[in-house]
């Protein structure tokens, strides 16, 4: 059995190395237009962009490493199946689960690698990118905002934005904590930045929302609907370095931030969703291996391009569903923990079912 185990692992090594290299390179090429835009329009130096480019590599590994596992399994076992090697092994009395067992051990080890990436390395890379861009001298205050992050950089306000397109904002939450008083909340469907000429101020125009209005002789608020409202932010008191954005936080820092937001009566659902997304995605290498194996073991295709297409058809729905669940979890549509683990649970059920069907054939 040791000979078969070593043979399988050696056959997987080359396609895994090639897959992760090609996938990372393709995603990096897709990132180049954004870097070019920063160089041309924002005056960021080429050397700074080169450093940002390099820090993007570990960020991409969180995506490309699990997909490379899936591609490797489908290519390797698809080739073995097409050459009747799997049929010969089964005829010799070797159970298919014995072929899968070394890959399960490798998958568990890669899950640990992805966990470390999500917990430490990727947040450090995001933080380094932010620091480099800030050190270039960019004074645009809107650069301090990032969709999906609670921003404490501005005086008196905590700002959360679901989506940004230039100066246009979508899904805006503005919190105004006060000592010994409930936190005032302003929620708007849309918004936009309005720069105040000659003043160190920034105005946010809010459209279609609700705001908390203090009740007389009470610490409670009443809700007031508005079609248009303005929030003025004093930029002279902003924290230029600011607080770490969500993507730059370690998982322990996210837990600490969730605790602080709950103490301020602020809904931390987006941070809960991000925490459990990282945990769930850490299992993706093992899940993809378990999903790819039964398909590859029964296929007789020699065409590598077709096998690559099948691999992407497995991976794409997983990530699309996971990101959709994160969007719903961030808005507290349903329990964030249940939503973020739903894609893993569904994929794992499918993987167990297909492997069981394969082994009972």
Judged against a pLDDT cut of 60, whether residue 137 lies above it is answered with no
**Is the per-residue pLDDT at 123 higher than 90?**
yes
Contact assessment for residue 2 and residue 63, using Cβ atoms and an 8 Å cutoff: no
pLDDT band at 138 (very low <50, low <70, confident <90, very high): very low
- Burial of 251 from C-beta contacts in 10 A (0-12 / 13-18 / 19+): middle
Q: Out of 108-117, 134-143, 205-214, pick the least confident.
A: 134-143
User: What pLDDT is attached to residue 77?
Assistant: 82
CB neighbour list of residue 284: distance below 8 Å, 6 or more residues apart: 66, 111, 114, 318, 344
pLDDT-above-90 percentage for the chain: 22
What does the alpha-carbon distance between residue 230 and residue 330 come to, in Å, rounded to a whole number? 25
Higher pLDDT among residues 104 and 37, named by residue: 104
Q: What was the pLDDT predicted at 150?
A: 82
pLDDT digits (tens, 9 = 90+) for 274-316: 999 999 999 999 999 998 888 777 665 555 556 667 677 778 8
Cα distance between residue 114 and residue 204, in whole Å: 39
């Amino acid at each position: 059995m040791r000979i078969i185990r070593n043979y399988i692992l050696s056959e997987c090594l080359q396609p895994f190395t090639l897959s992760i290299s090609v996938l990372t390179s393709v995603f990096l090429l897709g990132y180049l237009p954004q870097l070019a835009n920063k160089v041309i329009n924002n005056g960021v130096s080429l050397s700074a962009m080169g450093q940002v480019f390099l820090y993007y590599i570990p960020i991409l590994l969180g995506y490309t490493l699990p997909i490379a596992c899936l591609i490797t399994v489908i290519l390797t076992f698809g080739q073995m199946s097409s050459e009747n090697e799997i049929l010969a092994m089964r005829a010799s009395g070797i159970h298919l689960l014995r072929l899968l067992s070394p890959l399960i051990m490798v998958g568990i080890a890669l899950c640990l690698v992805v966990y470390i990436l999500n917990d430490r390395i990727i947040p450090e890379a995001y933080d380094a990118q932010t620091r480099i861009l800030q050190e270039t001298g960019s004074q645009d205050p809107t650069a301090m905002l990032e969709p999906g992050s609670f921003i404490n950089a501005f005086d008196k306000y905590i700002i959360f934005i679901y989506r940004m397109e230039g100066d246009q904002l979508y899904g805006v939450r503005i919190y105004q904590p006060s000592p010994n008083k409930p936190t005032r909340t302003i929620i708007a469907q849309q918004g936009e930045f309005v720069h105040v000429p000659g003043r160190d101020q920034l105005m946010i125009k809010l459209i279609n929302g609700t705001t908390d209005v203090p009740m007389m002789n009470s610490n409670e608020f009443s809700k007031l609907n508005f079609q248009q409202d303005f929030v003025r932010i004093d930029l002279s008191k902003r924290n230029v370095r600011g607080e770490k954005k969500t993507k730059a936080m370690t998982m322990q820092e996210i837990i600490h931030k969730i605790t602080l937001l709950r103490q301020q009566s602020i809904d931390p659902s987006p941070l809960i969703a991000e925490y459990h997304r990282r945990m769930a995605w850490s299992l993706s290498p093992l899940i993809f291996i378990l999903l790819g194996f039964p398909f590859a073991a029964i296929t007789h295709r020699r065409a590598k391009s077709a096998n690559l297409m099948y691999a992407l058809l497995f991976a794409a729905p997983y990530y699309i569903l996971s990101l959709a669940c994160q969007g719903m979890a961030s808005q507290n549509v349903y329990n964030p923990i249940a939503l973020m683990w739903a894609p893993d649970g569904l994929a794992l059920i499918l993987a167990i079912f297909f492997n069981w069907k394969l082994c009972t054939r």
